[in-house]
Structure 1
Amino acid sequence: MYFKPLLYISNLLHWLLCPAYVFIRRLTRPFIKWILTRTTGLCELQRLCYCEPSGACRILGLEESLKNSKSVKVQKLLKFLDLAAKEKRLTAAGSGQIISKTVETICYVKKIHQGVHQPFNKLLGESVSVIWSLKQLLHDLESIRTTGYDSSNMEHEQKLLELWTLLMPMTELESRISNSWKDIGFQGDDPRTDFRGMGILGLENLHFFAKNYQEVALQVLSHSNHPKHGYSFAIVGINLTHLAYTLWRDGTAKTHVYNICCHQLQMPGPTLLHFHRFYCYLFIEFDKLWMSEKPPTIMEFGRIRSQFENHIRLLLANPNCMFKLNISVEHV
């Protein structure tokens, strides 16, 4: 699964060839678009909707096509959608009209007869909804990430204590400030200090994993307590929150996000639940890698973590990529 030479060669080829490919593609793209439009009678957006399979292939293509549009009206429309996502207006009640107006505007600019191309209206609307729902979710994630753990906030405190109960069901916590927190992988007597890097998002991820996949979380925790090859469960979990957030923020995870939305028929777009499940997948897979590597010391964490990230990025580079938790509680 983790074949290092192949991974290094693949990354090297990508680094060498990608700039040349991008340059040639940008140079020839307008000419190819003109030829295809003249021969098919369909604009690029229509070709993508009708010819590309549902999921990342179609949505990524539409996203790039809209981004590269030279139409002033289309660019103005994209700014409007970005603002709507930032202001969190893509709600169950408000997104319908926004998406409808978006499709109407694009059809007007591209001279597409909506009555004739009704399937196009539906496919474009669904894709636009997914794209900007993800952008809105990223704003939500940033808000959670930048919210620091507050020990005076009862909701934060309750969730932290629930985390202990879920991971240590047979052991009662002596007190809120206790050396016992190290048993589940925190660094000191007060876990609050360990959440500084990722804010409350780190706690939200750990709590979701422990609550919704408790049996698996307890198994991973037992691995982390291995006498020779152990690691700090909570600290690694927070580090993986950073990895998950980075992959979503820089767009690498779009293949998974777009595919999972279409596969689970959960249009119009991703939710916080999708991010939590993505995080759980990373935690489980990282634990598998760690235990297979059997590192002699925790000082190997940097190397293994880097190896793991490279592997995940390589998988996500495949437009058909879709991570699924192959465990009995997948429906949670």
Structure 2
Amino acid sequence: MEDRVGGGGGSFVAVRRISHGLDRSNTCNTTSAEVAAGSAAWLGKGLSCVCVQGREGDSRPSFDLSPAQEDCLQRLQNRLDVAYDSSITEHQLALRALWKAAFPEEELHGLISEQWKEMGWQGKDPSTDFRGGGFISLENLLFFARNFPKSFQDLLRKREGVRSMWEYPFAVAGVNITFMLIQMLDLEAVKPRSFVGATFLKFLSENELAFDLLYCITFKLMDHQWLSMRASYMDFNAVMKSTRRQLERELLQEDVSRLDDIPSYGLLSR
């Protein structure tokens, strides 16, 4: 089911991802072109890859995980399965913390308030926008605000570059980025089904906050693409597709051995 978020002439799409059970099927979605592009970069990155022949003759990778890597992936998947619940104290506190990080000088009047629109939520209740990304999308935003406060504030307040008259709403864009990364990395599968997903799992096994860090990189990259494309509200989906393609290319570069080797990591400021 899709939740379409946004208004005023454009649309942001966040597919409802939270379910009662993760998809553990082994169907591979990697194209033969990606295998060709990624195989050289994959030498020595810590996962064994066996390319199997598909029914239509295309080679598709299957990655075997170590027990430690399986454990890291399972812990991240457990986070993905947590829906935002406004009745849970931990979730309420996280939402209040996000407001405090975004607007430290402005008192929040309540978890349901017109003030939330200042951050780029659709309405006065942010919980309705978390349906597409779950609680982890709130965790991602909070991680961004706490670890890269300058970049977070620059994006929130649209401080950099020549901006469009019709800008993307910051918070809703953040939820969409969480969802996009989950899909791009195929995180609901039992093991990686693409070189991009396997590369990320290598990083995750070395840093349990790799997903949160990649989120920050992606958000900054998305805004960079937005400015480069001179985009406006209706162009958001095109910008997201461009961002995903660029991020995949950077993750598969041969000299990338950790997330801060990614060229777009340099866009972030603390």
TM-score normalised to structure 2 length: 0.68
Deviation at 1:132, TM superposition (A): 4.1
The equivalent residue for 2:183 is: 246
Distance, in Å, in 1 between the alignment partners of 2:222 and 2:34 is 31
Deviation at 1:211, TM superposition (A): 1.2
Larger radius of gyration: 1
Mapped contact 2:150–2:269 kept (Cα < 8 A): no
Question: What amino acid maps onto 1:239 in structure 2?
Answer: N
Mapped contact 1:255–1:320 kept (Cα < 8 A): no
Residues 1:185 and 2:129 aligned together:
no
Deviations 1:236-265 (A, max 9, x none): 11111112222332541433553x57xxxx
Question: What amino acid maps onto 2:199 in structure 1?
Answer: T
The equivalent residue for 2:45 is: 59
Deviation at 1:213, TM superposition (A): 1.1
Question: How many residues align structurally?
Answer: 214
1:202-213 to structure 2, matched below 5 A, reads 202-213=137-148
> Which has the larger share of helix?
1
Deviation at 1:229, TM superposition (A): 4.5
Gapped regions of structure 2 (runs ≥ 5):
1-29, 53-63, 188-192
Q: Percent identity?
A: 28
Q: 1:276 aligns with which of 203, 207, 212?
A: 212
Question: What amino acid maps onto 1:255 in structure 2?
Answer: T
Q: CA RMSD in A?
A: 3.3
Mapped contact 1:247–1:253 kept (Cα < 8 A): yes
Mapped contact 2:130–2:137 kept (Cα < 8 A): yes
Deviations 1:163-212 (A, max 9, x none): 00101112111222111111111111111111111211101100100111
Mapped contact 2:45–2:199 kept (Cα < 8 A): no
Larger RCO: 1 or 2 (CA < 8 Å, sep 6+): 2
Mapped contact 2:174–2:219 kept (Cα < 8 A): yes
Distance, in Å, in 2 between the alignment partners of 1:227 and 1:19 is 34
Distance, in Å, in 2 between the alignment partners of 1:284 and 1:294 is 15
Deviation at 1:315, TM superposition (A): 2.5
Gapped regions of structure 1 (runs ≥ 5):
1-13, 26-51, 69-81, 83-127, 262-268
Residues 1:169 and 2:104 aligned together:
yes
Secondary structure of the equivalent of 1:169?
A: coil
Secondary structure of the equivalent of 1:228?
A: coil
Deviation at 1:221, TM superposition (A): 0.7
Distance, in Å, in 2 between the alignment partners of 1:328 and 1:303 is 25
TM-score normalised to structure 1 length: 0.56
